[in-house]
Chains A and B, each alone.
Chain A
Amino acid sequence: MMKKKIIWSLWAVSTTALLGYLSMGLFANEKKDLFLPGPVMHGHHQVEMQCSTCHTDPFGGGEVLQDACTSCHAKELKTALDSHPKTKFTDPRNADRLELIDARFCVACHLEHQPELMHPMGVSEPEDFCVHCHQDIGEERESHVGLEMTTCGNSGCHNFHDNKALYEEFLLDHKDEPDLLPTALLPTTDQIEVKIKTINDQSIPNQFELSDPDHKKWLASDHAQAGMQCQHCHGEVANWSSQPEIEVCADCHKDETDTFGLGMHGFPWKQGLGLAKVSDSFLPMHSDAVHKEVDCQSCHGSHDYDIQQAAVESCLGCHDDTHSNNFKASKHFQLFEAELNKEVQVGSGVTCATCHMPRMKIENEFGQEKLIVNHNQSDVLQPNEKMIRPVCMNCHGLGFSINALADEKLIKNNFQGAPSVHVESIDWAVARDK
C-alpha cells in the first residue's frame, strides 16, 4: 500500500513539474522553441518566437491563420491586383480543385514550419502547381505547347499573384520601348504637409547642447529649414528624450514609418519585439555592423537627416553581399554621383533606395493618391518582377527590364553590362496579336 502511495506521489510530482515546465514555455519567450514544430520561412524568421503573431487565437483553425496572413499581406495583394484572389475559388464549382489545393487559404501554398518543402517565394507546393487548373494551356496558346509546368513562374513570365507588369495587353502596350527611355527620370515624391506646432519652452537640458559640427549639420537639415526646433523631436525640457523613438518620427512621417513596419527593417518593431538587430539577419552583413539596430536614425543620421546618406552609404554600411558590394562600380552609381555633382538633372541618379525603397503611389481609404518613399524594402524584392513598373520602367523599356531581372549574373554584378537572358513573353504576345 505504502509503495503504491509513493509511486502515485512520484507520478503527481513529476507530472506537475513537467506541466509547469511546458507552461513556462508557453509564456516565456526564451522557452517557446519547445513548441516550435519547425523553422518558419525566411520572411517570418524575425517573429519566429512570437507565436501569437500568426496564431492569434489558441482555438482557431484555418480562418484564424488566414486572418493573420491577410492582416499583413492584404494591402500588398490589393495593390498587386492579385490574379488569384480567394474570391476566385469560393464557388462550389471549384470543389474538385480545392481538394487538390485549397486556394482559399494562403497556407495551402505557403505552409509554415516545413523548410524541407520550401521553394523560392516561400512556396511549399511542388513548382508545377499551375497544372491543376491550367493543364490545357497548350490548346489556348500555341507558344505554350510542350512547355513544362515547372516553367510557368520563370522570371519574366507569370506570377501567381502579381502580374501587373506581365499581362499580355501590358506587354503589347510596351513592346517597342528602347532599352533606355529618352526621359530617364525618377518621379518626385509629394511634399509632406505638416503644421508645425508652436514650442512654448525652448530651453534644452545643458548636457544635450549640440557640438558645433552637429549644430551646423542640423541647421542645414530640411527639418531646421522647415522651422522645426529641438523640442519637436526631443520633447520639452521636463520630458526630454535623448533618443527619440520611431513613434516620434511617425507623427509627421506616417506613411514612411507605416511601410517601414511592414519590411524586414521594421517588422520586429511593428510587432512589439524591439528594433531589428543586424546580427539577426540571414543576409551577409559587415562584421563591424553586427551590433547595430535599425530605426530611422540608423539610416538617416541623428541630426542631418541626410536622405542621400540613407540612400546608399547607410545600406552599404551593413549589407555585405556581392550585389551590394558591386553597386559602386555600376552605371547607376555613376549617375548618382553625377547628380550629386549637379552634372545631370535631379532624379537621374540611381541609389540602393531607388530600387529597394521605391517611390510609389499609395491610396488612402478615400481613394486619394500620393507618391511616397516606400520604406518596406521587401515589397518589390520577390518576385523581382514586382520591381519592373515602380522602379525599372522609370528609365528602361519593359523588354529590357524583364530580361535584366531574369539575369541572375547581371543582378549579382549590379547591372554592369547588358542582359544576357532573353525572355520570350513579348515575342509570344506580339506573334499572337498578328
Chain B
Amino acid sequence: MLKKLSIATTVIAAAALSGCGEEGTAGIAPEVYTDSLFAVMKSDRTNYTKLIVQRLGPNKGDYIKPNEHWEDMEEGAPLPAQMFRYGAEGVAEMTDTFTYSLQSIWPVNKQNAPSTAMEKEGLKYIADNPGENFYGTEELGGVKYFTAVYPDVAVSPACTTCHNEHKDSPRDDFQLGEVMGGVVIRVPLS
C-alpha cells in the first residue's frame, strides 16, 4: 500500500502536537525534507568512498578490490555506487514514503542514465549550475511526485580514476570536485 507523504498532513500533525489547535501553514517544506535526506546520503556516501574505497582500495592500501562483481571475488568490495543503491533498496523495503537513486548523464551503466523528462532536466541543470539543486513535480504511473535532484560530486580520486578508466564510461576527463552525476529523491504527494 502506497503511503504518500502529505505535506498538509504533516502540517496538521505538527499543529496538533504543538497544542495550538489551528491548521497553520508551518511544517516541513518538501525541499527541506529532501535536503535533509540528501544530507544523510551524501555524508554516508562520501565516508564510504573516502574512508574505505580510497584508503583500502587500489589507489592506496590495495587491500580490497572494489568491483561490480565483488560478491564473486575473494577480496571484492561493493563500488560506492552499489553501496548507495543497496541503501536505496534497503530503504524501499522499509518504507515507500520516499525513494532515491543515483544517476548521471555520463553513466557507466546505461540503465543509470536519466529516463524521465524531469530526470533529464534536473541532471542537466545540476551539471550546468554547479552547487545548485533542482526541484520539481512529475507524475509517474498515475502518482504525483515531488522530485529533487542533487549534485553528486567527485570527492576522491577513487571516483575520478575509476570513471575515467572504465571502458563503459563515456568520459575520461572527470576532475576532482566536478559534478559527475546526481542523486534523485522522490516523495509521493497525495
Contacts and interface: CB of A to CB of B under 8 A. Distances in A.
Interface residues of B, number: 25
A167 B167 contact: no
A92 B99 contact: yes
Given A87-B89, A87-B92, A91-B92, A140 B110 contact: yes
A102 to B, nearest CB: 11
Contacts of A133: 111
B140 A432 contact: no
Contacts of B184: 93
B171 interface: no
B140 A170 contact: no
Nearest to B114: A93
Contacts, number: 47
A78 B121 CA distance: 36
A95 B141 contact: yes
Nearest to A136: B110
Interface string A61-99: 000000000000000000001000001001111011011
A104 to B, nearest CB: 11
A91 B69 contact: no
Contact of B141 (A81, A87, A92): A92
A98 B143 CA distance: 14
Contacts of B88: 91
A301 B102 CA distance: 57
B145 interface: yes
A433 B115 contact: no
A176 interface: no
A136 B110 CA distance: 9
A90 B68 CA distance: 21
A359 interface: no
Interface string B108-123: 0011000110010000
Given A81-B71, A90-B92, A90-B99, A95 B140 contact: yes
A61 to B, nearest CB: 12
B72 interface: yes
Interface string B163-190: 0000110000000000000001010100
B156 interface: no
Nearest to A78: B71
User: What 6 A-B pairs are tightest by C-beta distance, nearest first?
Assistant: A95-B141, A87-B89, A95-B140, A92-B140, A90-B92, A91-B99
22 contacts: A81-B71, A81-B72, A87-B89, A87-B93, A91-B88, A91-B92, A92-B99, A92-B141, A92-B143, A92-B186, A93-B116, A93-B119, A93-B184, A93-B186, A95-B140, A96-B140, A99-B141, A140-B110, A167-B69, A169-B68, A170-B69, A432-B167
Interface of B: 67-69, 71-72, 88-89, 92-93, 99, 101, 110-111, 115-116, 119, 140-141, 143, 145, 167-168, 184, 186, 188
